Structure 1
Amino acid sequence: MTHSREKVAEEGPVLGPTGRPRHEFPEPPALTGHGPARIVSLCNQKGGVGKTTTTINLGASLAEYGRKVLVIDFDPQGALSAGLGADTHEVITIYDLLIGTVRDPFEAVQQTSIPGLDIIPANIDLSAAEVHLVNEVAREQTLARVLRRISDAYDVILIDCQPSLGLLTVNALSASHGVLIPLECEFFSLRGVALLVETIEKVQDRLNPAIQLDGILPTMFDARTLHAREVLERVVEAFDDKVLETVIGRTIKFPDASVAGVPIIQFAPEHAAAKAYRQLARELISRGAVA
């Protein structure tokens, strides 16, 4: 037995995929009250990196831990709305709130199949929002004004941004306290992160001094490939402790859950991907990035 303990000590701590010691993030304590919300944008100008999947499953995991969560579909393609089974036809959407035809954001809120997780949906109408907003006074602050009317009712608000750095994304960043960057473990994904970080810094300098980078979340990681491991290593070298310890692996279960219109923690609660998103929720709570 002594020999075994000595061997563990010699080998050092168990390392996670990022090459850093693996931590056990504790189950978060229950909240005694709700609100005001910390607002987090999930942002990356590259498409297909896991923004929507992360918004859905992080939101669901936080709700599972007793948080009141609102997710906002801020992409005209409406993938978040579809992924949570929200109605997008002949209903009030985020577009109506942005252009001011509806003043009360609670009128746009829909409940999801996860208790404690609500959504404000989007549809193709949102693609016209940038044209409408371009002549507005303080056009970059439009979403912030909308969210001020609803943030006290939630602990966390997650904004699923479109894959672009246009006016809608700048609105999301201007309204947010933090940014989470899902990053596919693939070489070309690395190239755009510096540009995105530069945009966040510009928003911080000119529009929203309070915003900060909460973390970079490696997604679609396949430990069997040297390429994925090398990309992850380079990300950690470049961004150090801004890279989250939680890493989301590649799995067919994500599209299966999307077709079912439910989060993976509900579709396959014991799957490794579901456990990873619960760990992400615990990690962000332990970092103070969410309540």
Structure 2
Amino acid sequence: MCSRPDLCGRTHLNDVLTDHGAVISPLAPLALMVRKLETHAVLHEADRRALLALPYTLRTYEPSSYLVREGDAPEQCAVLLSGFAYRQKLTGSGMRQIVSLHVPGEALDFQHLFLDVADHNVQTLTRADVATISRTALRDLARTRASIGNAIFVNTLVEASIFREWILNIGRRDARSRLAHFLCEFAIRLDMQGLVDETGYELPMSQEQLGDALGLTAVHVNRTIKSLEADGLISRNRRRISFPRWDALRELADFSSRYLHLSQQKS
């Protein structure tokens, strides 16, 4: 039985459909990016073709590889095709704060279409396939095709909304609620890309990495995971997480998906 009834039975990655019924070949490397952009904005068939026709370079990266370093002047924009990645910043003493987590289909640095210098680092969390697109080519497309420009703009606004929620989560929730909220968000975002099944999902982060995302020590993360498990809110099989009491987990997390703007009016 599905551990998350409201997250099962949706379209999966091998059936890449747009919200308008058009089928994009799953073999097209940029198809996931198109699908992600169409989550919140309308793209016409000509827009989809233009995006899929962009020149790109494919490369596979090992875990912890840097895609962007703070201070770089990127000439490419990176799109995550498989695996997971994160953005992070370091203090002067080398302490790390993970500021966002990214799933397949997401662009990792749309901001560099218009900002010349990177203000943070982007790293792979797992082994990952990444497509890099010419910054100039994508920026020109955004400027000449209004629907594409709008979709990219809305995408950056949704990212900003997620950042705000992360600040609230780290700043004002206790450890149990903080971790519960993170797990709920990750479930919803994975489902948007068809990556949740009846057994839940694999959490690709170590306890140290979770701590760097949540403002907790690895020891505190370990205790908190065990606490949620003891209360029957989550179930673990190694890194695989399922949710036997999803509604109770959401209540503990004070979780509302409003900030993900899943019902964004497309116009």
Same fold (TM over 0.5): no
TM-score tier after normalising by the smaller chain length = under 0.3
Bigger share in strand: 2
Could you tell me the TM-score, scaled by structure 1's length?
0.25
| Rg larger in structure | 1
